[in-house]
Amino acid sequence: MKLLQFFAFSGAILAFAGMAGCYGLGGEVASDGAPATPNTDAPDAGGSPGAGVDVFGGATTCTSGQSQPNITTGDGYAGMDPGQACISCHSQGEGPSFILAGTVYPTGHEPDNCNGVTASDIKVVATDFTGKEFPMTPNSSGNFFLQNSRRTPVSFAFPYTARVERGGKVVEQMGGAQKSGDCNSCHTEKGANSAPGRIAAPLPP
């Protein structure tokens, strides 16, 4: 009986730990449940490499070859500071209030302020605790966000899960529920809190 209680308690601790962290349990998984190694091998219009290359296995590179200047005060430009932790900065009183925000890149290791992927067929879809889906389309810098304001209030229930779709197919999916909407705080150049690196949107296999 004590052994069964121990396993039940251990399972509860693991579940809580997965939801409390940036990345949750299970790491990044493909839509079929297998570990995700988003692949591609020929460049496309969005700047992605194509099938056959592990996007998290390469060196740091700015695939777009275009970088933004670092902006320390808000100027209303939605493409500012790609790759940086958006909510962490905006919570200091500058800029609009975001529920979720981040940057999508064509590969897994890209430096801050490098423009992300711009292909129009990419969507980041967050599913909140109630099951409601919130699709977001990256802008010209690869930035995406779900904004909350008094004029356009958004009801969003944490924790949430998220996936990246390209051409209507899931190319990345998070393995655990998340409590933080500051996506780039974990999806850094090298990856933090168990994230493998950037939010990547390679071509579907």
Q: Where are the domains of the chain?
A: 1-205
Over the stretch 69-105, which tens digit does the pLDDT of each residue have?
887 666 667 889 999 999 988 777 667 889 999 999 9
The whole-angstrom separation of Cα 29 and Cα 173 is 5
160 phi, psi to nearest 5 deg: -140, 165
The whole-angstrom separation of Cα 53 and Cα 17 is 32
19 or 67: which carries more pLDDT confidence?
67
> Reduced to 3 states, what is the DSSP secondary structure of residue 168?
coil
For the chain, the average pLDDT equals 78
The whole-angstrom separation of Cα 167 and Cα 205 is 11
Q: Is the overall model pTM greater than 0.85, yes or no?
A: no
| Predicted pLDDT of residue 45 | 32
The answer to whether the beta carbons of residues 129 and 64 sit under 8 Å apart is no
Over the stretch 15-44, which tens digit does the pLDDT of each residue have?
333 333 454 433 343 333 333 333 333 333
